[in-house]
Structure 1
Amino acid sequence: MRAVIQRVKQASVVVDGKVVASIETGILILLCVCKDDTQKDIEYLAKKIANMRIFSDENGKFNLSVKDMGGSCIVVSQFTLAADTKKGNRPSYFYAAEPQKAQKLYNEFVRLLKTEHNLPTQKGVFAAHMDVKLINDGPVTIYIDSKENLQ
């Protein structure tokens, strides 16, 4: 499972001209479910993101998590994070999970953030064309791959 997390001052997701998710201070999570992902990947990534200290304390040090800040999350399905760009100019998405599996694990990831980590969490619309708007705070943008960290 791959994720790009962005610390935001504000973020929203618009589908067909309608705002479907909107937060102030928090994290925008672009989430890619890969073919070989399991419940273990979801649990690892949800815990890691919920507790990642990427917000500044009173001394300007990254010592606070989104939970510590009382922030929120938006999770956006992003299969293009599975892109393989080694050959040619058209990325291959071979490593991305099939839509049915991806949607199931995506929804489970959102559920874990809400219930296990007590984070107010909204989401985009799975497989829809979305306009994602954000004010990246910092900017702070971090890439996480569960397979690189679960070994």
Structure 2
Amino acid sequence: MEKFVEEGKIRSLGLSNWYVKELESFLPQVTITPALVQNEIHPYYQENDVIPYIQDLGIVVQGWYPLGGRGHTAELLGDEVISGIAKAHGVSSAQVILRWNLQKGVVVIPGSSNPDHIKENTELYGFELTDAEMAQINALDRSEKHDWY
């Protein structure tokens, strides 16, 4: 893959589902640092040790399943803490979760086929979560993966 970057066939490299231990072993073996690491990240699985490690390397962190993923979205969107914060800001629970990620420096690309949800998911810049609200969401971490790979 590094050869393809050098030849201009691809612009950058990315990894999916890589954590501290794997990166510590892998990175000394390559000459091109990955541009992005994509991991499952949502309020019930926060990766709080992994995110800053990756970011300190100058690598972008992208969260997949930001809204909880298959079979878990309703539970996460209905969480009392998240719903309460959403109500206080006059936004949806999905917007709160996406904003929480952005404030942590995590890039999120939520999937939806519903045009209204897609539009709503882009409207994240009219409010900001307070430190107390960020802490409330951070306290929801269950180390609960919703997909295994």
Q: Tell me, yes or no, whether TM beats 0.5.
A: no
Give the structure with the higher percent helix.
2
TM-score, normalised by the number of residues in structure 2: 0.33
Give the structure with the higher percent strand.
1
Identify which of structures 1 and 2 has the higher relative contact order when contacts are C-alpha pairs closer than 8 Å and 6+ apart.
Answer: 1
TM-score, normalised by the number of residues in structure 1: 0.32
